[in-house]
Structure 1
Amino acid sequence: MKTRPASRTAVLVCQGRAAADGLVAPGRFHDAMAIALLHDDERVPVDRVRGGGPPQGWAQRAEFEMLRATAEVMVARTIVIDAAVRSRLSPQLVILGAGLDDRAWRMSELAEVDVFEIDHPASQQDKHDRVGDLSPCARSLRFVPVDFSGDRLEDALVPAGHHRAVPTTWVWEGVVPYLTRAQVAATVAAVDRCSAPGSRLIINYQSPSLPAAVGRMAARAMTTFVRQPNVWAAEPRRSSWTAAAMRTLLTNHCFPVADDSDLLTVAARLSIPVKQRRSLQSGESRSPTARIDAA
Structure 2
Amino acid sequence: MNDKGPSRTAMIAAAGRAAHLIVDSAPHLFHDTVAEKLLGEHAPELLSYHRNSGDHPVLSGTRSQVSARSHYTEARVAAGGFAQYVILGAGLDTFAYRSPLAGAVAVYEVDHPATQTWKRELLAEAGIGTETVEFVGVDFESDNLYTELIARGFDPSRPALVSWLGVTMYLTEPAIAATLDTLARLAPGTELVLEYALPPELRDESGQVYGKFAQAATAQQGEPMRSMFSPESVTALLGRHGFTVADHVSQRDAVDAALWQRTDGLRPIDFCRLVRAQR
Task: Assess same fold via TM > 0.5.
Answer: yes
Superposition deviation, residue 238 in structure 1: 0.9
Unaligned runs of 5+ in 1: 56-60, 224-229
Q: Does 1:201 align with 2:192?
A: yes
Tell me the number of residue pairs that the alignment of Structure 1 and Structure 2 aligns.
Answer: 270
Which of 138, 162, 166 is matched with 1:174 structurally? 166
Deviations along 1:105-134, one digit per CA (max 9) or x if unpaired, are 111123311111100112111100111141
* Partner of residue 239, structure 1: 227
Superposition deviation, residue 144 in structure 1: 1.0
Is the 8 Å Cα contact of residues 2 and 112 (structure 2) preserved in structure 1?
no
Name which of structure 1's ranges 147-156 and 106-115 shifts more when overlaid on structure 2. 147-156
Instruction: Write the distance in 1 (CA, Å) between the matches of 2:4 and 2:41.
Output: 23
Instruction: Write the distance in 1 (CA, Å) between the matches of 2:193 and 2:36.
Output: 25
Is the 8 Å Cα contact of residues 108 and 137 (structure 1) preserved in structure 2?
no
Instruction: Write the distance in 1 (CA, Å) between the matches of 2:144 and 2:106.
Output: 21
Instruction: Write the distance in 1 (CA, Å) between the matches of 2:104 and 2:36.
Output: 25
Instruction: Write the distance in 1 (CA, Å) between the matches of 2:244 and 2:213.
Output: 37
SS of the counterpart of 1:129? helix
Which of 264, 270, 274 is matched with 1:281 structurally? 270
Superposition deviation, residue 269 in structure 1: 3.0
Name which of structure 1's ranges 161-170 and 1-10 shifts more when overlaid on structure 2. 1-10
CA RMSD of aligned residues (A): 2.8
* Partner of residue 32, structure 1: 33
SS of the counterpart of 1:259? strand
Identity across matched positions, percent = 32
Instruction: Write the distance in 2 (CA, Å) between the matches of 1:28 and 1:218.
Output: 23
Superposition deviation, residue 155 in structure 1: 2.7
Within 5 Å, give how 1:1-295 maps onto structure 2: 3-21=3-21, 23-26=24-27, 28-47=29-48, 49-50=50-51, 55=52, 61=53, 66-132=58-124, 133-136=127-130, 138=132, 141-193=133-185, 195-209=186-200, 215-218=210-213, 232-266=220-254, 269-272=257-260, 273=262, 275=265, 280-282=269-271, 285-292=272-279
Q: Per the alignment, do residues 3 and 74 of structure 1 end up closer, same or farther by CA in structure 2, a change over 3 Å counting?
A: closer
Q: Per the alignment, do residues 41 and 131 of structure 1 end up closer, same or farther by CA in structure 2, a change over 3 Å counting?
A: closer
Q: Per the alignment, do residues 126 and 213 of structure 1 end up closer, same or farther by CA in structure 2, a change over 3 Å counting?
A: farther
